[in-house]
């Protein structure tokens, strides 16, 4: 995908991996729309990188439809979706006060999984009507999983389940949308120094970083963005989930 003047939508862009990916997309010349539930945060990122900011709860059908329509009107229908919305959650199934609240599980699935399917379906419907580029490509949908989907730890059953759903939809979505020239790819980050990690790991210390074979540190959002940009450029990457974790397996 040629990113120059390419309409690109980045969700979860007020912070962390999404904010940095939006920044690198803007540097590559894309017409970037940044979307987040944090209205002030997303406006700040948009002003810094010269993007369009949209306040939206991407887990909500109506809110997301409005956001995609506004982005289409102002920047053109997106050829790129980078969906970085997500939330960490660390809680045992049975805690000191009894079972985990079902409502908390539902909300986590809403934010991590429902939001992913919601944005994918809306953006793919627009992409299907775009003129193919010279290589036949119409668009790229890049979704964010987690290594916890494969190797979730005690206290991560709910979070791992919400991310497992994201990982599972990537291949069938790529199979369905491939004939339309739309690629679907996932990145499964390991430990990156952002709010999601701080939500899951209350006691962040160097011991945790030392468990990463190399480098012995948390990932930098710029390293996630670098891979995201490569995936967008490289038309052969499709239907797969790429781990980005420094060899970390818990």
Ligand X SMILES: NC(=O)c1ccc[n+]([C@@H]2O[C@H](COP(=O)([O-])OP(=O)(O)OC[C@H]3O[C@@H](n4cnc5c(N)ncnc54)[C@H](O)[C@@H]3O)[C@@H](O)[C@H]2O)c1
Residues near ligand X (CB under 6 A) are: 12, 14-18, 36-38, 41, 56-59, 84-87, 111, 115, 144, 146, 189, 191-192, 194-197
Strands 98-99, 94-95: pairing is antiparallel
Calculate the CA 170 to chain-centre distance. 12
CB of 7 vs ligand X, minimal distance in Å: 19
To the nearest whole angstrom, how small is the minimum distance from the Cβ of residue 12 to ligand X?
3
Residue 89 CB, nearest approach to ligand X (Å): 9
Residue 34 vs 177, nearer CB to ligand X: 34
Task: Name which of 2 and 38 has its Cβ closer to ligand X.
Answer: 38
Q: Which of 159, 218, 224, 248 is catalytic?
A: 159
Assign residue 201 a region (left: φ > 0; alpha: ψ between -120 and 50; beta: otherwise).
Answer: beta
Q: Give min distance, CB of 189 to ligand X, in A.
A: 4
Q: How many CB atoms lie within 10 A of CB 127?
A: 22
Which helix (H) or strand (E) segment holds residue 105: the answer is helix 102-109
Residues 6+ apart with CB under 8 A from 221: 16, 17, 19, 20, 21, 192, 193, 194
Between 24 and 144, CB nearer to ligand X:
144
Burial class (CB in 10 A: 0-12, 13-18, 19+), 226: middle
As a whole number of angstroms, the distance between CA 130 and CA 117 comes to: 20
Between CA 146 and CA 166 the distance in angstroms is 9
Q: Measured from the CB atom, is 152 or 189 closer to ligand X? A: 189
Please state the closest distance from residue 43 (CB atom) to ligand X, in A: 12
Nearer to ligand X, 128 or 167 (CB): 167
Residue with nearest beta carbon to ligand X: 86
Q: Which residue's entry shows tokens 């079902």?
A: 102
For residue 150, indicate whether it is catalytic.
Answer: no
Q: Which residues pair with 11 in a beta bridge?
A: 35, 83
Residues with a catalytic annotation lie at 159
């Amino acid at each position: 995908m040629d990113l120059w003047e390419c309409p690109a939508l980045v969700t979860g862009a007020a912070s962390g991996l999404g904010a940095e990916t939006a920044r690198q997309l803007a540097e590559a010349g894309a017409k970037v729309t940044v979307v987040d539930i944090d209205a002030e945060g997303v406006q700040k990122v948009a002003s810094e990188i010269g993007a369009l900011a949209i306040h939206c709860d991407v887990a909500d059908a109506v809110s997301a439809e409005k956001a995609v329509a506004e982005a289409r009107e102002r920047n053109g229908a997106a050829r790129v979706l980078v969906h970085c919305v997500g939330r960490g959650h660390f809680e045992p199934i049975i805690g000191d006060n009894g079972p985990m609240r079902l409502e908390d599980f539902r909300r986590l699935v809403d934010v991590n999984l429902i939001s992913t399917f919601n944005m994918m379906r809306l953006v793919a419907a627009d992409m299907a009507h775009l003129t193919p580029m010279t290589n036949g490509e119409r668009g790229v949908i890049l979704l964010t999983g987690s290594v916890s989907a494969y190797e979730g730890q005690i206290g991560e059953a709910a979070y791992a389940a919400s991310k497992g759903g994201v990982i599972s939809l990537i291949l069938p979505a790529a199979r369905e949308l491939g004939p339309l020239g739309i690629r679907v790819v996932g990145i499964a980050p390991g430990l990156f120094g952002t709010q999601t990690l701080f939500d899951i790991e209350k006691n962040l210390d160097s011991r945790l970083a030392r468990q990463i074979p190399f480098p012995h540190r948390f990932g930098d959002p710029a390293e996630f963005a670098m891979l995201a940009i490569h995936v967008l450029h490289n038309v052969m990457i499709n239907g797969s989930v790429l781990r980005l974790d420094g060899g970390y397996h818990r």
